[in-house]
Structure 1
Amino acid sequence: MAEAARTPLTAFQIGMHWFPERPGGLDRHYHALAGALPGAGVAVRGMVTGSGAAAADTHGAIVAFAPPGASVPMRLLRARRTLREMLARNRPDVVVSHFALYTLPGLDLIRAYPTVMHFQGPWAAESQAEGAADLASRIRHRIEAAVYARCQLHIVMSMAFGRVLETRYGVDPARIRVVPGCVDAARFGVPMERRSARQALDLPTDRPIVLTVRRLVRRMGLGDLVDAMATVRKHVPDALLLIVGRGTIEAELRERIAAMGLQHHVRLMGALPDAQLPLVYRAADLSVVPTLMLEGFGLTTLESLAAGTPVLVTPVGGLPEAVSDLSGSLVLPASGVAALAAGLTDALRGTLRLPDAEACRTYARSRFDIPVIAARTAQVYREAVDRCE
């Protein structure tokens, strides 16, 4: 068995975008695994939308089949063509999907292969929550269901999303494996004092800072977080909230901040360059993830912990699973304005006991560092291959 475990595999990975070109949790995870799986005995080939950067970065192992801005029919046509060519050229041991839409046109091509699905969220439900029409959401759900039905195994980041996969798509729980998200612990664990990180980003060094790194969409709970700061400032008058990210409700949040007179207490920072993310986590006294719905794991929780900054989360989806083994005090009793305001106030005033920087870093490094998660992921790929022999 030990000898078999060392047998190298080749996995063909169907992704969405190439992460350095397009930020996002799904794409970051795909990119991280592409770099780390070879160390776990899995050679990676794959395809994504994008420019030629993926091929340049991976010496041709991962290619772009279409630009992200191409029409959907063109992307699907090129996805099928590229998949056929790459399968013939590489003859992988297992096909791995990270995004149902680009897997759909090649379902017949991968019929003979063991297939694993990385399920990072219900695409249809997330789209509907962000304002997609009912018809578009129903079409996306059917696409997802068709692809998931053809996969031997499914990887989810939390038990919460395992239940979503089972209840929304009828996937047999016996085919679901929980492998949490990953973080580059060395990159986010910057060896810098908080004051120095703040100076590097031109942030105030004499104020308590709360950070959230989120896409600016409704289900992320950012409106509630802004409202909560109106209460927090009454108890911690110099508190400052930094919101990092871009999205469809940016203008709405800006208006809300102005209407509540919170310009001195809430700062929209936009999308920071990826190289600055470790610094902004290190600069904060505390991070918060205020999600209202459909949160499978929350990779930002790991990034914050790896930087040595504790993170408060709402009890939504897989967020409690990400942090509760470190400290139950990191999980708020509820989502919404009141719970956020009370939790942030208690944390900033020191009445809520939080893990220190070293405990946060050790927890992230030992459980979620990229090589650790790559090894667990490789085990699932091998299981899929074994089930088909």
Structure 2
Amino acid sequence: MEPAPEAGLVVDHFPAAARSLRVACVTETYPPEVNGVSLTVARMVEGLHARNHDVQLVRPRQEGADTPDRGDRFHEVLLRGMPIPRYPSLRMGMPSKRTLVKLWTLQRPDVVHIATEGPLGWSALQAALHLKLPVCSDFRTNFHSYTQHYGIGWLRKPIMGYLRKFHNRTLCTMVPTEGLRRELRSEGFERLEVVTRGVDTRQFDPARRSAALRASWGADDDTLVVCCVGRLAREKNLDVLIDAFRAIERRVPSSRLVLVGGGPLEQELRSACPGGVFAGQRRGDDLAAHYASADLFLFPSLTETFGNVTTEAMASGLPVVAFDYAAAAQLIDHDAQGVRVPFGDGRAFAEAALALAFDPARRERLGRAARERALLLDWSTIVQRFEGVLTTVIREAAGAQGLPAKAAPGLHA
């Protein structure tokens, strides 16, 4: 007789039919929450399911957003969560090791993949190790880099120590760029694999450009519209964006700045840029139209592990100005799909933005090339790479336990 699940736990049993892999994916953020981590995790989860794998999604319950059943896409386990300080629209999981041990004892997955390093992620790591389950992780957020933007630089070392301890206890940590792999390796991280990110080029498409939307911004065909998409928070380095736009605006006062996203800095930014368009959070085709209706994309952040907005802007046919790291370093050849400037050099950033602002022929050339590069970033290829890493982790775990490769769980036809 099976023991009853813990109160408040929503459990769907894995199907009986054998599939290639049984994957438990643990994350503290998921759509409809809007951030790069949630959207990327959703792509991976749904991509695995589409490739005929059994996927169990473990995440915090989202207040007012969850329905009891999402159909047959995948199986969900909803746990308690709490709002994240300074980010009330986002939630983090609560410690849940005992719950997960019970769950995975009843329904043993072939591999546990942990996408976030918060309390729920730590509980999942402890539960997986307790049950001797193969476990891998993602490094998706530069929490240690945020400290300098909030006056708590002294916390960088202990935060990095926690992250290193967390990830080095897994069999593999996936990172989105080769540059991040080199950085983390220098900090003592082990067993790092590059699994980059894709972009939906059917959704993010220059064809979504809208004259009506531009008109709502006070822009006509001849108006230069500068765009930035992302959370309005200190770690996004938005002072550099405002300085760059002011330099443009001094030359052509009719230029417009469109900021897509919300966050704790919104009121401060409204005061600093009273003529700016603050579009708030946008999703789906509406977000795609905001990208495509701009003329130039400026991305000043210095704290990204990747920066999905870079690829979304490129797919939308926008030339990008960004610092030479993360997605820009990996995908933008200087003055080919956009302009990369030295890391942290705000003056060079403003100069590059100003030069592009007054060279429409160059913007058009870079935007076309950016779209062509983005067309190569197909999500199906990324999910296949992710699947391959999971399979390798399972095989390595089986080998460490002295099992023959053919006996490794999850590798049945």
Q: TM-score, normalised by structure 1?
A: 0.83
The question of 1:205 aligning with 2:220 is answered yes
Q: Deviations over 1:77-117 (max 9, x none)?
A: 4x324422432343221110111222222434212122111
Partner of 2:403: none
Deviation at 1:358, TM superposition (A): 4.7
The answer on 1:285 being equivalent to 2:299 is: no
SS of match in other structure, 1:251: helix
1:11 alignment partner, SS class: strand
CA distance in 2, matches of 1:10, 1:317: 31
Q: CA deviation at 1:329?
A: 4.2
- What is the aligned partner in structure 1 of residue 178 from structure 2? 159
1:65 positional shift: 0.8
Q: Is residue 135–residue 172 contact of structure 2 (8 Å, CA) maintained in 1?
A: yes
User: 5+ residue gaps in structure 1?
Assistant: 1-6, 258-262
Pairing of 1:277-316 with structure 2 (within 5 A): 277-291=287-301, 293-316=302-325
SS in 1 for 2:59: strand
| Counterpart contact for 2:307–2:326, Cα < 8 Å | no
Cα distance, 1:141–1:56 mapped onto 2, change above 3 Å: farther
Are 1:105 and 2:91 an aligned pair? Answer: no
Could you tell me whether the CA contact under 8 Å between 1:18 and 1:54 is conserved in 2? no
1:136-147 pair list within 5 angstroms: 140-147=159-166
Aligned to 1:48: 59
Aligned with residue 246 of structure 1, among 262, 285, 300: 262
SS of match in other structure, 2:121: helix
Unpaired segments ≥5 residues, structure 2: 1-18, 86-91, 399-413
- Please give the secondary structure, in 1, of the residue aligned with 2:136: strand
Is residue 219–residue 256 contact of structure 2 (8 Å, CA) maintained in 1?
A: no
| Aligned mates of 1:58, 1:81 — CA distance in 2 | 27
CA contact (8 A) 1:289 1:301 kept: yes
1:1-389 pair list within 5 angstroms = 8-20=20-32, 22-51=33-62, 53=66, 56-57=69-70, 59=72, 61-69=75-83, 75-77=93-95, 79-101=96-118, 102-111=120-129, 112-123=132-143, 125-131=144-150, 133=152, 140-168=159-187, 170-172=188-190, 175-189=191-205, 191-195=207-211, 198=214, 204-206=219-221, 207-257=223-273, 263-264=274-275, 266-291=276-301, 293-324=302-333, 327=336, 329-333=338-342, 335-350=344-359, 353-354=362-363, 355=365, 357-367=367-377, 369-389=378-398
Q: What are the Cα deviations for residues 162-193 of structure 1, in whole angstroms up to 9, with x where unaligned?
A: 1332233x222xx1111112222222226334
Deviation for aligned residue 1:310: 2.4
In structure 2, how many angstroms separate the alpha carbons of the residues matched to 1:54 and 1:165?
Answer: 38
Counterpart of 1:4 in structure 2 is: none
Paired letter, 1:276? D
Deviation at 1:147, TM superposition (A): 1.9
Alpha-carbon offset, residue 276 of structure 1: 1.5
RMSD after superposition: 3.0
Would the aligned equivalents of 1:225 and 1:290 in 2 still touch at CA under 8 Å? yes
The percentage of aligned residue pairs carrying the same residue is: 21
Deviates more, 1:339-348 or 1:52-61: 52-61
Greater shift after overlay, 347-356 or 374-383?
347-356
Amino acid at match of 1:56: D
Distance 1:54 1:378 in 2: 28
Q: Are the equivalent residues in 2 in contact too, given 1:296–1:319 (CA < 8 A)?
A: no
Aligned residue number for residue 260 of structure 1: none
Cα separation, 1, equivalents of 2:162 and 2:372: 40
Cα distance in 1 between the residues matched to 2:203 and 2:40: 15
For residues 302 and 107 of structure 1, what CA distance do their matches in structure 2 show?
31
Q: CA contact under 8 A between 1:116 and 1:154: conserved in structure 2?
A: yes
CA distance in 2, matches of 1:53, 1:136: 35
Instruction: Give the drift of 1:274.
Output: 4.4
Cα 1:158/1:68, change in 2 over 3 Å: same
The amino acid of 1:269's aligned partner reads A
Is the radius of gyration larger for structure 1 or structure 2? 2
Query: Aligned with 1:344: secondary structure?
Result: helix
Q: Distance in 2 between matches of 1:68 and 1:330?
A: 40
Q: Is the 8 A contact 2:114 2:124 kept in 1?
A: no
* CA distance in 1 between partners of 2:84 and 2:346 (Å): 40
Matching residue's letter, 2:219: P
Q: Retained in 1: the 8 A contact 2:29–2:59?
A: yes
Using structure 2 for the length normalisation, give the TM-score: 0.79
Is the contact made by 2:238 and 2:300 (CA closer than 8 Å) also made in structure 1? yes
For residues 225-276 of structure 1, give each alpha carbon's deviation from its aligned partner in whole angstroms, at most 9, with x where no partner exists: 112222112333322111111222222222222xxxxx33x33322234442
* SS of alignment partner, residue 230 of structure 1: helix
Q: Which residue matches 2:6?
A: none
In the alignment, the residues of structure 2 paired with residue 379 and residue 238 of structure 1 have an alpha-carbon distance, to the nearest angstrom, of 51
More helix by share: 1
The number of residue pairs the alignment matches comes to: 367
Provide the C-alpha distance between the structure 1 equivalents of 2:151 and 2:53, rounded to a whole number of angstroms: 37
Deviations 1:101-160 (A, max 9, x none): 22222434212122111111333x144234275787666445423321211111101122
